[in-house]
Structure 1
Amino acid sequence: MTARVLIVDDIPTNVRLLEARLTAEYFEVLTAASGQQALDLCEAGGVDIVLLDVMMPEMDGFEVCRRLKASRKAHHIPVLMITALDQPSDRVRGLQAGADDFLTKPIDDIQLMARVKSLVRLKVLTDELRARAITGQEIAVEDAIPATESIDADGGHILLVDTDPRGAERLRGYLAGSHQVHVLADPAEAAAAVGIGDYELALVSMSLGQFDPLRVCSQMRTLEQGRTLPIILVADEADRARVVRGLDLGVNDFILRPVEPNELAARVRTQIRRYRYAAELRRSVTNTLALAVTDELTGLYNRRYFDRHLAMMLDKAREQGRDMALLLIDMDFFKAVNDMHGHDAGDAVLREFAVRLRRSVRGVDLACRFGGEEFVVLMPDTDYRQAQNVAERVRTAIAERAFEAGGAGRPLAVTVSVGVALNERPDDTPETLLKRADVALYRAKRAGRNRVVFDAA
């Protein structure tokens, strides 16, 4: 995972120390010695995350953060505030200014990298949603980016998983004035609760007796409703190693006991506001693009949309030095389905195929119907290993269970061949990337079908 990190600090020694730590983890680092310089760099674009010192002359970090979050161009950039102030009220003030997280000096390397990586994952998803909205604008639909700056974070629907009745009631009491909090004492029911409840945040205690709290979180993530659900761990100091593991697995945030009520409230508001912002972007994309850029039969994006979006994302991947992968998927012997069972049966298979494809790819991936029985998946920030995992998951999801096709009588066995290409060449264009994926797909067909083949770049 790589990203462009902006360090904002007026003390050169602090900047060099952070720069060395981040560069060692292969992050690209920009620096700013003043608040105004930081604002200018963020407005210019290309910044993925801001590490912002609080104590600076002329304009302190709180003011810089407020201005960033008020900017239409920069308000979506995650801000990680770094401060020597250790009072809970100071941390809460930073979160209320719009900061997405904070670290207290002296900076712990493990927490630094865990926080940065967590926020980078958020930025990747937000960027992809925003890019899809912009692509919609270019196709001359209505403005697909709503006024999200005024999103309210009160009245959240929160699931609290805690086996300790007294501890759970204390946490519920801290939040009950502004949110609806449902306490769940049996962690084994957490995934089911997420599946049927319209939750906007999950608070999970790290002290769940015989239950592994990280497994509880991962089970939530396996559900469609839980893929984007913010999760905050409530932990003790002794849980630090497992908290870091949880952040690597996709947990959004954590808070240490003893829990300070104002800090908890601020962290909850930040996560709910972020969740609602992403949800509003998704609704906006869905509503404004509509039939102009979607395939009527499958509900996936169409070739017209994909062509525009591929060009944009390839330019962005090249500019930022990020990986990107492309899957070209073709259903094996699909013509025989139409010839033997009729086009109604073929359409039923295509619709079910699209459902399985959507379930098999990640939330950040873009799945489209390329034409006929051919489909394509665009995967930003994806390397060889990740692309292989997703491609195999798609292939298996199609082959492992026969398709019900209405008038076909009996279920139909369907397989797919997949060609994969990565943007490994500096002179790649959308056309050459698609061509290389198509060549890999042809090799998969010749090798016997029902397999994944990578382009031999």
Structure 2
Amino acid sequence: MTARILVVDDIPANVKLLEARLLAEYFDVLTAENGYECLDICSKVSVDVILLDIMMPGMDGFEVCEKLKSNPKTAHIPVVMVTALDQPADRVRGLRAGADDFLTKPVNDMQLMARVKSLVRLKMLSDELKLRAETARSIGLEDHLARAAQAEEVASILLVDGRANSQERIARALRPIADITAMNDPQAAIFEAAEGHFDLIIVNSNFDDYDALRLCSQLRSLERSRFIPVLLVVDQGGESMVVRALELGVNDYILRPVDPNELLVRCLTQLKRKRYNDRLRDSVQQTIELAVTDGLTGLNNRRYLDKHLKLLFDRAIARGRPLSICITDIDRFKSVNDTYGHDAGDEVLKEFAARIRSTVRGADLACRFGGEEFVVIMPDTLPDTAAAIAERLRHVVESQPFQLRQNGTALTITASLGFSSTIGGAESAEQLLKQADRALYEAKHGGRNRVVAAAA
């Protein structure tokens, strides 16, 4: 696992020690002597994890962390505070400042490396989502992301705890920030996690006859719970369990006896990160949809058609099944634009697409080919059936006038259609499309408002 770690400490011996440990794990290591240097490096260089001391001259680690988290460019760099401070109030203050963890010196090597590796994996996931979401921003989805941030619902937390008294203490601490579903049966909790909609799962390792890490592993293996953050409650001295948990993909942990304030802050950090990544995933999904969808009509676009037609053609040939394709063109569409304007033309295109949707079957694929041309791909469809579908579409277009909302004008619109089928001997998806295009050409030049089959 390659990643760039920034070590920030004003004591050279501490820097050298951490640097040696990280280099032994093949990390790329940068160092800074103070908070100002840390902020400067982060503004110029991509950093994956920051190991940050607190007691430094000029600007302490709390202030450095707050500045990092308040800057959108550095807000999502994981920060681990590594310090001699060991009071619960210091830990809570560090976590409130935005730190992902707070480790007290002397730090257990295995625990530190496991934590760094866990945060690196998390950072890489976020970076990948951010990279994919850049397209969303470039095409105007910032508003979507902003709305999603403003419309956050009350968080939902699943608490899996084998003992009623600790269940109640944890639930009481978290009720101000979330709805709590508490369960004491780990197996039932797996089903609940898969069926419910949770923002965080807390697993208490206090079961007498069940391995809490097995539950964590199962949660990570299920599709529905794979991206839900998991926080593990562990006994003091349970460093080996913490290391194993982080390797399994557990996001965070807290030691017993549980400090309610620390628990609250750790949960808020995980909820914030999940919401951020969820918004990124949503924007990525919308970007994908926009990339293959025609913005005006809502049908799939030419890019999607080119890819999908080849897949359907190859599948039809491999299975010995027929595949038919129909190209339809709005007759004299240019005159609509010339007479009534392009807004009217857009209305006609949208209504035409709606009539295609109402006519084709569920298994058929309708796409906007470009301009006023549309394509319908019909899997498992013989030429006779394709002709009937094309004729039905021609009739649906002609039978009812197209009403223009802007002035109430009713337009009589017709369409010409050409279709072809693999039964005709096409050897490729491109050839099948060309055959249908030639049939459309014949329909246009034969008087329009008609269906023509490609010659075999």
* TM surpasses 0.5: yes
Partner of 1:195: 194
Q: Distance in 2 between matches of 1:267 and 1:99?
A: 9
Q: Show the counterpart of 1:125.
A: 125
Separation in structure 1 between the aligned mates of residue 363 and residue 263 of structure 2, nearest angstrom: 49
Query: Matches of 2:18 and 2:167 in 1, distance apart?
Result: 38
In the TM superposition, residue 40 of structure 1 has moved relative to its aligned partner by: 1.2
> What residue number does 1:207 align with?
206
Q: Which amino acid aligns with 1:73?
A: K
Q: Equivalent residue for 2:66? A: 66
Matches within 5 A, 1:416-427: none
Structure possessing the higher radius of gyration over alpha carbons = 2
Q: What are the superposed Cα offsets for residues 109-128 of structure 1, whole Å, 9 maximum, x if unpaired? A: 01111110111011001000
Q: TM-score w.r.t. structure 2 length?
A: 0.65
CA distance in 2, matches of 1:136, 1:3: 26
The 8 Å contact of residues 5 and 30 in structure 1, kept in 2 or not, is answered as yes
Equivalent residue, structure 1, for 2:285: 286
**Shift in Å, 1:148:** 9.7
Q: What does residue range 129-168 of structure 1 map to in structure 2 within 5 Å?
A: 129-137=129-137, 140-143=139-142, 146-147=145-146, 155-168=154-167
Once residues 50 and 304 of structure 2 are traced to their aligned partners in structure 1, the CA distance between those partners, rounded to angstroms, is 36
1:102 aligned residue:
102
Show the counterpart of 2:41.
Answer: 41
Note if contact 2:34-2:59 (Cα within 8 Å) is conserved in structure 1.
yes
Contact 1:4–1:28 (CA<8 Å) still a contact in 2?
yes
Change beyond 3 A, Cα 1:65–1:293: farther
Match of 1:3 in 2: 3
Aligned-partner SS, 1:224: coil
Letter in 2 for 1:282: R
Q: Structure 2: how far apart are the matches of 1:170 and 1:98?
A: 24
2:9 maps to 1:28? no
Letter in 1 for 2:115: R
User: What residue number does 1:51 align with?
Assistant: 51
Determine the structure 2 residue equivalent to 1:114. 114
With over 3 angstroms needed to count, the CA separation of the structure-2 counterparts of 1:103 and 1:147, relative to structure 1, is: farther
Q: How does 1:278-357 map to 2 (within 5 A)?
A: 278-288=277-287, 290-292=289-291, 334-337=315-318, 339-342=320-323
Unaligned runs of 5+ in 1: 306-329, 351-404, 409-457
Q: When the two structures are aligned, how many residues end up with a matched partner?
A: 329
Q: Specify the alignment match of 1:85 in structure 2.
A: 85
- Please say if residues 53 and 81 of structure 1, whose CA atoms lie closer than 8 Å, have aligned partners that are also in contact: yes
Aligned to 2:417: none
User: Structure 2 vs 1, CA of residues 194 and 253 (structure 1 numbering), >3 Å: closer, same or farther?
Assistant: same
- Deviation per CA, 1:229-254, whole angstroms, max 9, x where unpaired? 00011111353212211110101111
Aligned partner of residue 26 in structure 1, secondary structure: coil
Contact 2:160 2:201 in 1 (8 A): yes
C-alpha RMSD over aligned residues: 3.5
Closer/same/farther in 2, CA of residues 218 and 332 from structure 1, 3 Å limit: farther
Q: What's 2:422 paired with?
A: none
Distance 1:77 1:210, change over 3 A: same
Cα deviation code 1:160-179 (max 9, x no counterpart): 10111112112111212322
Is the alpha carbon distance of 1:231 and 1:258 closer, same or farther for their aligned partners in structure 2, counting shifts above 3 Å? same
- The code of the aligned residue for 2:241 comes to R
- Distance apart, 1:303 and its partner CA: 11
After TM superposition, list the pairs within 5 Å mapping 1:260-271 onto structure 2: 260-271=259-270
Shift of 1:286: 2.7
Taking a change above 3 Å as real, the CA distance of residues 98 and 293 of structure 1, as seen in their structure-2 partners, is farther
Distance 1:47 1:196, change over 3 A: same
Structure 1 residue 349 displacement after superposition: 12
Structure 1 residue 222, shift from structure 2 partner: 2.5
Counterparts in 2 of 1:297 and 1:14: CA distance versus 1, 3 Å = farther
Q: How far has the Cα of 1:144 moved from its partner?
A: 7.9
Q: Distance in 1 between matches of 2:306 and 2:35?
A: 42
Could you tell me which amino acid in structure 2 is paired with residue 256 of structure 1? L
Q: Percent identity?
A: 50
Indicate conservation of the 8 Å contact 2:174/2:180, yes or no.
Answer: yes
Partner residue, 1:390: none
Secondary structure of the residue aligned to 2:76 is coil
For residue 258 of structure 1, report the CA deviation from its aligned partner: 0.8
Q: CA separation in 1, counterparts of 2:160 and 2:136?
A: 39
Deviations along 1:150-196, whole A, 9 cap, x unmatched? Answer: 77999421101011111211211121232211111111112210122
Partner of 1:14: 14
Distance 1:336 1:157, change over 3 A: same
Which residue pairs with 2:339 in the alignment?
none
Native 8 Å contact 1:91 1:102 kept in 2: yes
Q: CA, structure 1 residues 31+343, in 2 after alignment: closer, same or farther (shift >3 Å)?
A: farther
CA gap of 1:97–1:195, structure 2 versus 1, over 3 A, is: same
Instruction: Note closer, same or farther for the CA distance 1:152–1:233 as it changes in structure 2 (3 Å cut).
Output: farther
The answer to whether the 8 A contact 1:34-1:56 is kept is yes
Unaligned runs of 5+ in 2: 326-361, 366-378, 383-456
- Judged with a 3 Å threshold, the aligned counterparts in structure 2 of structure 1 residues 212 and 128 are, in CA distance, closer, same or farther, namely same
Q: Which one-letter code corresponds to 1:88 in the other structure?
A: P
For residues 141 and 97 of structure 1, what CA distance do their matches in structure 2 show? 32
Residues 222 and 334 of structure 1: CA distance in aligned 2, closer, same or farther (over 3 Å): same
How far does residue 206 in structure 1 lie from its aligned partner after superposition?
A: 1.1
Specify the alignment match of 1:412 in structure 2.
Answer: none
The structure whose RCO (Cα within 8 Å, separation 6+) is larger is 1
Aligned position for 1:172:
171
